[in-house]
Structure 1
Amino acid sequence: MRILIIEDEPKMASYLRKGLMEASFQADTALDGKEGLFLALSEDYDLILLDVMLPELDGLEVLKRIREKKHTPVLLLTARDTVQDKVVGLESGADDYLSKPFAYAELLARVRALLRRPAQSSVTVLCVSDMEIDLVRRRVRRGNVRIELTAQEFALLKLLTERQGEVLTRAFVTSHVWDINFDSDTNIVDVAVKRLRTKIDSPFENKLLHTVRGMGYVLEDRA
């Protein structure tokens, strides 16, 4: 499997490349955002390790432009480790987030976890009531209204729709949407659900995303 490392510190980039190659991966490196974006879009990679603080183009901008063209899994690497920093990175389309400094063993475990994610189902369109989710084009509509979602909002909606009628706990959502175990006292899921609900429910009479007090969230048509 091929991995792209976009990291502006040469020693770190070399260290990561050597470690991944010893783990039987093929690895390429880019030392700035511009070069990294070019490689990410012009080559086929199974995973991208992306530093946030980069010259030429910062990591979040690189991530945004990658997501406009491809859905390659992206693991963000950064010294910024607040919950808000994680939220911004994940909302921008990252699949996972690792704070510097980190142990190489943890990085390798996260890389393997991302690469183990199952291939997409042959089903390309999901529906709940009047809401249609196109998994290929990553488009969402309710009736004739197009709904614009961020990458993480789309991932959250996809999970809820695939398990419509099931009550999903916050821990289940974080492990499946972000593949990160957040502390139980953080409200990242509540914030994400609130933003999603504002887009898919607030403008419409029939509400689909419901809170089950003390348990979690469920997507279903209760009309």
Structure 2
Amino acid sequence: MAVPIGGMFATDKLIWHFSSTGQFTAKSCYHALLTHRTFSRGMESGGAASSSGESTRRWKFIWKLSIPPKVRIFLWRACSDILPTNVELFRRGISPSPFCRYCPDKCETTQHVLQFCHGMQAVWNSPPFNLPNMVTFPSFWSCLVYLRENLEQGLFLLATIVIWKTWDLRNRRLHGNEQNGNQGVVSWSGAFLHSFNSAIMSAHQPPTRAFSTTWSPSSDPRYCQD
């Protein structure tokens, strides 16, 4: 009640409440539109809108995973829905169609590439994952949470490598380096993860000394004294 609201001669002025100064900037406008888009997607998927705190927690969760940094960055890009799928490129007016070139009746979303396309559904349904009930998730983050909750730690880390390699194989096919599906992606990913873990363990082992640190008297008579 004590806050003055201005007199009758006060003039109105425009305030851009998305910036701290009240002035319009392209940067604040971009962030406002991005926040609105994230909120709309969260409501459409039946979940709560993503906040900056939730986004930070997701990034911390991904960054703590014991996998190569390039795989973490890829997972973050996938969770942020910024991978150049046909759906995203079509939305930006770059691609003429949002549909998958290998599955003409399906839109090429991140989830479609990593869950179903080129035999990926069989990969998830088979050992070592054995996940027959995977469905089309509303977001890649939901898919990642599902894998974390249904796989033990070692298999979950393997799944993240499989996801990263699957996208790499998709790009190779896109550029003419044809691959016979994704049948060997699990074995390749397992060997890759094993090599990474071995390198990490070697880096943490203390260096071995090239010479002995214990002293012993010399047997050379020149150095012996009566």
Question: Does the alignment reach a TM-score above 0.5?
Answer: no
So what's the TM-score if we normalise by structure 2?
0.30
Determine which structure has more spread, i.e. the larger CA radius of gyration. 2
The structure with more helix, counted as a fraction of residues: 2
